[in-house]
């Protein structure tokens, strides 16, 4: 991927999309080849390692000076003092997105970032994707047609490997 590029990763359930993101993030070993990447931030929507932390604690620990901006952008002020384990799926996803999108990492990996988001928050995610120019983004989605045009590249994988790698506008059916 080129710096600043936004690419959607597509494929059927179980074909390895999440495993690929985890390998890129350095959390899973690769069986062959090598992955060369800058520092990256990963959002999976899962916050299990920190269940007793509050939203504010997690954001301040993960983002430092950017915590307040992330809290405002993702509208988390109302749950700032709640424990992560007590949050709804939508709020957990927003905390995970805040940690990834406001991190200083040059590469942001988002695994199904719209899961659990209401329409207003999904639109906020699309706005972030459209307006962010200083980060490279790879995101998993099952609905590429709902992504903003700035996510212009696509990678379609299956159990057999890469099926398509190119402009999102040229994705084969049923993905395009």
Q: Where are the domains of the chain?
A: 6-170
pLDDT tens profile 5-52: 999 999 999 999 999 998 988 888 888 887 877 788 878 766 666 778
Q: In what side-by-side order are the strands of the sheet with 136-140?
A: 40-43, 107-111, 136-140, 6-10, 153-158, 161-167
Residues 6+ apart with CB under 8 A from 16: 157, 159
Confidence of residue 76 (pLDDT cuts 50, 70, 90): very high
Give helix then strand counts, H and E, for the chain.
5, 6
Q: Is the model's pTM score more than 0.95? A: no
- Would you tell me which CATH number, out of the four given (3.40.50.410, 3.40.50.300, 3.30.2350.10, 3.40.50.10860), belongs to the domain 6-170? 3.40.50.300
């Amino acid at each position: 991927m080129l710096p600043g590029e936004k690419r959607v990763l597509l494929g059927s359930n179980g074909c390895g999309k999440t495993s690929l993101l985890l390998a890129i993030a350095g959390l899973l070993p690769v069986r062959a080849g090598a992955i060369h990447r800058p520092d990256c931030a990963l959002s999976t929507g899962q916050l299990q390692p920190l269940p007793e932390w509050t939203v504010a604690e997690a954001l301040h620990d993960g983002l430092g000076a950017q915590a307040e901006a992330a809290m405002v952008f993702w509208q988390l002020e109302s749950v700032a003092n709640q424990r992560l384990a007590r949050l709804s799926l939508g709020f957990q996803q927003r905390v995970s997105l805040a940690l990834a999108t406001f991190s200083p990492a040059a590469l942001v990996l988002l695994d199904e970032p719209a899961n659990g988001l209401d329409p207003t928050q999904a639109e906020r995610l699309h706005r972030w994707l459209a307006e962010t120019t200083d980060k490279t983004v790879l995101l998993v989605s099952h609905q590429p047609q709902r992504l903003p045009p700035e996510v212009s590249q696509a990678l379609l994988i299956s159990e057999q490997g890469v099926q398509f790698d190119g402009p999102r506008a040229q994705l084969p059916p049923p993905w395009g």
